[in-house]
Structure 1
Amino acid sequence: MGKKSLTELEEEAIESTPYLGSDERASNLRAAQNLEDSTKKIKPESHPNVKPWVHFVAGGIGGMAGAVVTCPFDLVKTRLQSDIYQSVYKSKAATVTAAHNSKIANSLVQAGTHFKETFGILGNVYKREGFRSLFKGLGPNLVGVIPARSINFFTYGTTKEIYSKAFNNGQETPLIHLMSAATAGWATSTATNPIWMIKTRVQLDKAGTTRKYKNSWDCLKTVLKSEGIYGLYRGLSASYLGSIEGILQWLLYEQMKHLIKQRSIEKFGHEGQLTKSRTEKIKEWCQRSGSAGVAKFIASIVTYPHEVVRTRLRQMPMENGKPKYTGLVQSFRVIIKEEGLASMYSGLTPHLMRTVPNSIIMFGTWELVIRLLS
C-alpha cells in the first residue's frame, strides 16, 4: 500500500466526519438510555397522598361492615367475659382431657370444646331470646364502631405522616408506626369509652322480668342518674391498657404489608402496578386483608386479659349499689383469686371468631374505600 498524499488524507477525513459524529451521538444516546433504565430500576414507589378525611370516612365504613357481620360473636364474647353469666355458660373445656397425657392434644380438645360451646350459646340465645337478641348492642356498637374506627384510622394516618416528616425526613419506620398507633389508640379510647360502656351494659342485660334497660337510651339515662358522668368512663383504664393490642396489630400489619409490597416489587418492578393484571391486584388485596386478620389474632392472644377486666369494670353495680370491680389492679386480683388465671381468657374463642374476620373485612373495606375516594 503506497503512501497517501496530504490531499488524499484530508479528503478521507472530511468524508468520515459524519460517521464519527453519528457514532458519538449513538454512543451518547446509548449511555443516556442505560442511565435512564438504571434510574427506573431504583426509582422508589410513589405513594398517593391520601387526605385525612378519606381515612376518616374509609375507617368508619370498614368498621361498620365488620361490626354488622360479626355482632353475634361479640354478644357471646361479652357474656362469657362477665361473671353474671358464669353459672349459665360455665365452660366444660377445663374438665375435658384427651385420651393420652399430651399437652398439645389437650389444648386441641379444649379449643374444640370452646368452639362447640360458642355455637351452642348462639343457639340458646336464638331459642330463648329470639333472633334479634343475637344483635343485642348492635345499635351502640355501630354508634361506637363508626366514630371509633374513623378516629383510629384518621389519627393513625395523620400522625404517621406528621411523625415521619418531623422525626425521620418523611420516611416510615417501625418506631413511627409505634408512635402513631399509640396516639390513635389513646385518642380512640378516650373519645368512645361511654359508648362501649352502654353497649356492654345492654348486652349483659337479661331478657324477661329481670331486664333493667329498655334500650340503649334508657341505659344511658339510668347510668347518668345512678352513677353520674364517672359511670360512663368505667373501664377506661383497661381501655388504655387495651390500646397495646391496637399498637401491636398496627405494627404487625405494617410489617406484613411491607413484605407483600417488596415481594411484588421483586416480581413486577417498581412500575409493575401499571402492568399488573386484575387477578394479581385482587390477590395482593386479599393478602393485605389477610395480614390484618393474622395481626389481630396475634395481638388478641397476647393482650386478651384486659378485655375481661374491662367488661367486669363496666358491669352494673351489685344489689347494694356498690360495684364489685373498682379498678384495674383490683379487678385483676379479684378475678384471679376467685376464679383462677384461666378465667382471664374467658370468651377468647368467640372473641377470635369475631375480631379476626372483623379485621379482615374492616381493613379490606378501608383500603377499597381509600382507592375509590383517592
Structure 2
Amino acid sequence: MHPLDLLKVKFQVATEEPKGNVGQQIWLALKGIKHNEGWRGLYRGVGPNIAGNASSWGLYFLFYNDLKRRATNNGTGPPLSAGQYLLCSAQASAVTAVITNPIWVVKVRMFTSRADNPTAYRGLWDGFRTIYRSEGIRGLYRGTLLALVGVSNGAVQFMMYEEMKKWGFERKRRRMEREGKAYTASDDHLSNTSYTVMSGGSKLAALTLTYPYQVIRSRMQNTTPVTSTSQNSTIISTIKHTYRNEGPRGFYRGLGTNLVRVLPGTCVTFVCYENLAWLLKRAAARREERAEGSS
C-alpha cells in the first residue's frame, strides 16, 4: 500500500485540486511518478514508512492491551464501558504519537522530495541527523501537538471497534445457547469477515471525523527549513492559509486516496492481530491444562 500512502501525502501538501475522480487522480499521479522518477519513485520513503507503521502498531497494541488489563484487574473485573475503551485507546495513542513523531517528519519530507534532489534525505537515519543538525530536537518533534490531536482518530476507532466486537461475541454466545452448546474460551473468536467489516467500518467513521488534522500536520512537517515567514510555520497560520486559499475542501485533500489506502491495510492488520492473539491465548490455555494435569 506504500505508493498510495505516498500519494496521500503529496495530495495533502498540494495546493491545486487534482483533475478527475478519485480513481483517475490516483492513476494519473502514479503514472506521473513512474514516468518522472521510475519505479523507485513509487517507493520513495518506504524505509521510514515501514519503521513508522511497525513501531506505531506494535507500541499501540502493547500500551492499549496493558491499559485494558489494568482497568479490568487482569480480566477479573467487569467488562469495560465505551468510555473506558475510549480512555485506554486515547492514552495508548498519545504515548505512541510522541514516541514515533520523528519518524513521520522524515517520512513526510522524503515523500515530498525527489531522490535526485541534492538536499533530499537518503534514508531514515540520514533524515534524523540532518533535521537534528539544522533544526535541533524541535525539528524532529514538529507537528507533535497535531499528532496528539490525532489521538481522537485512534480513540474513536477503537471505541467503535470494541463495541462492535462485544456485540458480535454476545450474538455468538446467544446463538450457541439456543443450539444447546457450551461457550468456551476456544469459541472466543469471530470470523475473518466479521473482523474485516468491524475494523473497516470503525476506521472509516473515525477517519472521516478527524481527517483535517492530518492535512495540517503534513503541511507543517513538510515546511523545511522553518522560518518566521513560512505560511505553514504554526497550526493557526496553516489553518488560516489553507482556508483562505482552498476553502473547507482544502482540509480534506487526499481523503479519497487515503481511504483506498488505509482501509485494506487496517482490515488486514486487525484480522492478523485477532487471529494471532486468539492462537496465543489457546496455546497458553493448553499449557495451563497440561500443567494442571501433571500436578
- State the TM-score bracket (shorter-chain normalisation): 0.7 to 0.9
Q: Which has the higher contact order (CA 8 A, sep 6+)?
A: 1
Question: Amino acid of the residue matched to residue 205 of structure 2?
Answer: I
Name the residue aligned to 2:293. Answer: none
Name the residue aligned to 2:13. Answer: 82
Name the residue aligned to 2:255. Answer: 348
Name the residue aligned to 1:140. Answer: 48
Question: Amino acid of the residue matched to residue 12 of structure 2?
Answer: Q
Task: Give SS of 1:256's match.
Answer: helix
Name the residue aligned to 1:161. Answer: 69
2:182 to 267, 271, 275: 271
- Structure 2 CA distance, aligned partners of 1:350 and 1:73? 7
Matched, 1:92 2:19: yes
TM-fit CA distance, 1:350: 1.0
Q: Deviations over 1:45-68 (max 9, x none)?
A: xxxxxxxxxxxxxxxxxxxxxxxx
Question: Amino acid of the residue matched to residue 36 of structure 2?
Answer: R
- Structure 2 CA distance, aligned partners of 1:320 and 1:304? 26
TM-fit CA distance, 1:289: 2.6
Name the residue aligned to 1:99. Answer: none
- Structure 1 CA distance, aligned partners of 2:247 and 2:215? 13
Task: Give SS of 1:206's match.
Answer: coil
Matched, 1:183 2:114: no
CA contact (8 A) 1:186 1:243 kept: yes
Name the residue aligned to 1:202. Answer: 110
Task: Give SS of 1:165's match.
Answer: coil
Matched, 1:300 2:207: yes
Question: Amino acid of the residue matched to residue 165 of structure 2?
Answer: K
The aligned length equals 277
CA contact (8 A) 2:156 2:206 kept: yes
TM-fit CA distance, 1:209: 4.6
CA contact (8 A) 1:164 1:172 kept: yes
- Structure 2 CA distance, aligned partners of 1:309 and 1:246? 17
Matched, 1:212 2:212: no
CA contact (8 A) 2:106 2:124 kept: yes
- Structure 2 CA distance, aligned partners of 1:126 and 1:338? 30
TM-fit CA distance, 1:286: 2.0
Alignment of 1:206-245 (within 5 A): 206-209=114-117, 212-245=120-153
CA distance 1:159–1:210, shift in 2 (3 Å): same
Task: Give SS of 2:73's match.
Answer: helix
CA contact (8 A) 1:317 1:324 kept: no
TM-fit CA distance, 1:291: 0.7
- Structure 1 CA distance, aligned partners of 2:80 and 2:120? 50
CA contact (8 A) 2:45 2:111 kept: yes
TM-fit CA distance, 1:215: 2.8
- Structure 2 CA distance, aligned partners of 1:224 and 1:288? 41
CA distance 1:271–1:133, shift in 2 (3 Å): farther
Gaps of 5+ in 1: 1-69, 94-112
CA contact (8 A) 1:318 1:324 kept: no
Question: Amino acid of the residue matched to residue 91 of structure 1?
Answer: P
- Structure 1 CA distance, aligned partners of 2:129 and 2:186? 58
TM-fit CA distance, 1:332: 1.3
Alignment of 1:249-264 (within 5 A): 249-264=157-172
CA distance 1:131–1:350, shift in 2 (3 Å): same
Name the residue aligned to 1:332. Answer: 239
CA contact (8 A) 1:77 1:348 kept: yes
- Structure 2 CA distance, aligned partners of 1:337 and 1:119? 29
- Structure 1 CA distance, aligned partners of 2:186 and 2:104? 45
- Structure 2 CA distance, aligned partners of 1:296 and 1:285? 16
- Structure 1 CA distance, aligned partners of 2:134 and 2:89? 35
Matched, 1:361 2:268: yes
Name the residue aligned to 1:314. Answer: 221
TM-fit CA distance, 1:121: 1.0
TM-score for both structures, normalised by structure 2? 0.86
CA distance 1:322–1:212, shift in 2 (3 Å): farther
TM-fit CA distance, 1:231: 0.2
Task: Give SS of 2:265's match.
Answer: helix
TM-fit CA distance, 1:330: 2.6
CA contact (8 A) 1:200 1:315 kept: yes
Question: Amino acid of the residue matched to residue 148 of structure 1?
Answer: S
Matched, 1:116 2:24: yes
TM-fit CA distance, 1:316: 3.3
TM-score for both structures, normalised by structure 1? 0.68
Deviates more, 1:314-323 or 1:223-232: 314-323
Percent of aligned positions that are identical: 26
CA distance 1:359–1:122, shift in 2 (3 Å): same
- Structure 2 CA distance, aligned partners of 1:114 and 1:214? 31
- Structure 2 CA distance, aligned partners of 1:344 and 1:170? 41
